[in-house]
Amino acid sequence: MNDSPGRTTVSGPSGGSDPFRVMVVDDSAVIRGLITRALESDPEIKVVASVANGQMAINTLSRQPIDVIVLDIEMPVLDGLSALPHLLQADPNVKIVMASTLTAKGADISLRALRAGAADYIPKPSSTRELTGADTFKRELTEKVKALGAAARRSGPRREGTAAARPPGAAAQPTSGYTLPSPVRAKPETGPLTVRPLPPDGRPDVIAIGSSTGGPQALFEVLGHLRGATQPILITQHMPATFTTILADHITRQCGIQCAEAKDGEPIVGGRAYVAPGDFHFLVVNRNGVPTVQLTKDAPENFCRPAVDPMLRSIVRQWGRRVLSVILTGMGHDGQKGCESVVQAGGVVIGQDEATSVVWGMPGAVATAGLCSAILPLKEIGPFIQKIAARRAA
């Protein structure tokens, strides 16, 4: 995979406390063992439970504190998607990472799980041989677990046993729509943030959105307010191939916006949304006066391909000060350099606030750098964009 969310500096367990407590749930004992060894190669992580199905996971979570669950999708007795709401009911602050194969079915189920409250997903190699030698998978998994483990501990104290979850046979909670996972609620590590003045008039000609960990849920929330926007909406979400195809389909169905993976050489049309395809950088170039998609296999930036920074740089070259850039929840700092270009050109940057971000890495980077004209809770971002996008052209 070339779409690792990027390295991020994650505070380890503070005050000399225990390593992050992880439960691995997979019906294959071999896979559980390999994932456990990969995780425990990092001294800040301890696998405290390893179980074979969703029901066993629910029972285990009711007896001991867990920070992060790595949850397989297809399992006997109770599969991962069915177990998810019961696990979140047992402990709303636990962070759940869905482990999925790189297939259309796996991608679709993973996105459904994200809409139902999972914090993140990780595409796992398709064979034990691949898993054994997949250094990128191991690095991505440990980084996600540490970031989400820190988030879980900030969200609330871990208990010595959670409230018993409702058995799967009992009246289930509704799973329609989507549920945002419990966010990071850390105390700011910096002083008051500097916010740039918002230009008093003029509307953007393009809306660009960058996101990573927790991004799909945030995208659904924001884009649900933008179905009437006349500007093109360009999206880079850190995801592998196949997953980005399914993400675009979910956006179309969930948000009522015509959305598809960007295709090399196609013209950019207003009122449509374009998602960067996995393993390609998504750029915009001018061809005969028409903004046009260009996909490249240039080297990853910030350990990511697709990456937000190259997309933003190309958009600034095309639209200049008429760019509205939005940085949503995610690990790392991808998007910061691109937003610097947006601001230098006279465009506008919006960042998601810390309290509603699953991981305040990417939006935190642009916020603490003083690049934002607004730092908003997730539910206020869509209406804010809608208001700016509907301005009269200057």
Q: What pLDDT does 136 receive? A: 80
- Cα 133 to Cα 146: distance, rounded to the nearest angstrom: 21
Residue 309 lies inside a defined structural domain of this protein: yes
Asked if residue 124 and residue 23 are part of one domain, the reply reads yes
Beta bridge partners of 45: 20
Answer whether 121's CB lies under 8 Å from 50's CB: no
Q: What pLDDT does 8 receive? A: 37
Mean pLDDT throughout 40-55? 97
Residue 164 lies inside a defined structural domain of this protein: no
* Beta-carbon contacts of residue 162 (< 8 Å; ≥ 6 apart): 61, 62, 65, 90, 91, 94
Q: Residue 379: is its pLDDT beyond 70? A: yes
Other CB atoms within a 10 A radius of the CB of residue 16 amount to: 6
- Cα 385 to Cα 284: distance, rounded to the nearest angstrom: 21
Q: Residue 24: is its pLDDT beyond 50? A: yes
Asked if residue 329 and residue 227 are part of one domain, the reply reads yes
Asked if residue 210 and residue 150 are part of one domain, the reply reads no
Q: Which of 137, 154, 171 is the last residue of a domain?
A: 154
Asked if residue 368 and residue 272 are part of one domain, the reply reads yes
Asked if residue 376 and residue 238 are part of one domain, the reply reads yes
Residue 249 lies inside a defined structural domain of this protein: yes
Q: What pLDDT does 120 receive? A: 94
Higher pLDDT, 189 or 175: 189
Asked if residue 259 and residue 145 are part of one domain, the reply reads no
* Beta-carbon contacts of residue 45 (< 8 Å; ≥ 6 apart): 19, 20, 22, 39, 142, 145, 146, 149
Q: Which of 9, 352, 377 is nearest to 210 (CA)?
A: 352
Residue 312 lies inside a defined structural domain of this protein: yes
Asked if residue 363 and residue 293 are part of one domain, the reply reads yes
Q: Which of 250, 241, 177, 182 is nearest to 216 (CA)?
A: 250
**Helices marked H in the chain — which ranges?**
29-40, 54-61, 80-90, 104-115, 128-133, 135-155, 215-223, 243-255, 308-319, 336-344, 362-368, 378-389
Mean pLDDT throughout 297-308? 96
Structural domains of the chain, count: 2
Domain that includes residue 148, residue range: 14-154
Residue 161 lies inside a defined structural domain of this protein: no
The CATH number that applies at residue 221 is 3.40.50.180
Asked if residue 282 and residue 369 are part of one domain, the reply reads yes
Asked if residue 107 and residue 215 are part of one domain, the reply reads no
Asked if residue 220 and residue 147 are part of one domain, the reply reads no
The CATH number that applies at residue 128 is 3.40.50.2300
Residue 163 lies inside a defined structural domain of this protein: no
- Cα 44 to Cα 10: distance, rounded to the nearest angstrom: 10
Q: What pLDDT does 127 receive? A: 63
Catalytic center residues: 212, 238, 334
Residue 3 lies inside a defined structural domain of this protein: no
Residue 9 lies inside a defined structural domain of this protein: no
Asked if residue 212 and residue 71 are part of one domain, the reply reads no
Q: Residue 3: is its pLDDT beyond 50? A: no
Answer whether 273's CB lies under 8 Å from 259's CB: yes
Asked if residue 241 and residue 133 are part of one domain, the reply reads no
Mean pLDDT throughout 58-84? 97
Over residues 84-130, the pLDDT tens digits come to 999 999 999 999 999 988 888 989 999 999 999 999 999 887 666 66
Over residues 180-230, the pLDDT tens digits come to 444 433 334 456 789 999 988 789 999 999 999 999 999 999 999 999 999
